[in-house]
Copies of this chain bind each other. A is one copy, B any other.
Amino acid sequence: MSTRPYVSPSTGTRIRAVLFDVFGTVVDWRTGIIKDVGAFAAAHRLDLNEEQFADDWRGLYQPAMEMVRSGSRPYTPLDVLHRESLERVLKDHNVDPQALTEDDVERLNRAWHRLPAWPDSVSGLTAIRRTYIIGPLSNGNTSLLLNMARYAGLPWDVIIGSDLTRAYKPAPAAYLRTAGILGMAAGEVMLAAAHNTDLDAAKRAGLATAFISRPTEHGPAKTSDLAPTGSWDIIATSIVDLALQLSGQR
């Protein structure tokens, strides 16, 4: 692995930190949620369609954050938004949350803290960490990202959750405040993400960008983000591939 820092063609700056979108880019949220919903259903003898439940839960993710981004409600941690969405999805799947214990609902809500890494994530992150500072740049709150890192073995140097920036991507403040906390200029930070809208906002905020292809993020039905749609600095097929490209080996 080369130790010569990568210089972004778009920002012209040496990269010091590579930060990652997490849900979908580093971890396979859909497989993790389906598994935990299945275990929950079995424990409570419920007949649930785990795939549909997972997709419905995730489907409420952007609308919930949009309430914060638009200013309709103050910053609210993702754990709380997930919990509100969960109670709605339980009802939509004919389960009364009131008939469950607080512990049971909260344990299921914390399925977002126990998501499996994609097969290439840990080795790719470990390689990139030899030369760069690495961390998440996620809408998750710090405790969620910390527990996930312990669960999935993600070797982050630093974890700045949305509770610390008090901003949800793609709001510019989410990227700029994170760089500021790291003591870096925006151009010294690269965002790696599987989602074009995230990269577009990061680029507008002055960050370098890397697209990571995750064609099965939404299962067989995925139709978005199958290919890069912007002029990102790096287009990679995995985090291992990103490590190779950053080091000039591919």
A residues near B (Cβ < 8 Å) are: 79, 133, 141-144, 146-147, 149-150, 156-161, 163-164, 181-184
Given the interface pairs A142-B158, A159-B159, the reply to whether A164 lies near B181 with Cβ below 8 Å is yes
Query: Apart from A146-B157, A158-B158, what 12 extra A-B contacts exist at CB < 8 Å?
Result: A133-B146, A141-B183, A142-B158, A142-B183, A146-B158, A147-B183, A150-B157, A156-B157, A158-B159, A161-B181, A163-B181, A164-B181
User: Which residues of B lie under 8 Å from residue A159 when comparing CB positions?
Assistant: 157-159
Sample 13 A-B pairs with CB under 8 A, ordered by A number: A79-B183, A133-B146, A142-B160, A142-B182, A143-B181, A144-B183, A146-B157, A146-B182, A146-B183, A158-B158, A158-B159, A159-B159, A164-B181
Give A158 to B154 CA distance when docked, in angstroms. Answer: 12
- Which residue of A141, A159, A183 has the most chain B CB atoms within 10 A of its CB atom? A183
- Which residue of A141, A163, A164, A182 has the most chain B CB atoms within 10 A of its CB atom? A164
Give A144 to B146 CA distance when docked, in angstroms. Answer: 20
User: Which residues of B lie under 8 Å from residue A144 when comparing CB positions?
Assistant: 183
User: Which residues of B lie under 8 Å from residue A182 when comparing CB positions?
Assistant: 142-143, 146
Give A7 to B181 CA distance when docked, in angstroms. Answer: 34
User: Which residues of B lie under 8 Å from residue A163 when comparing CB positions?
Assistant: 181
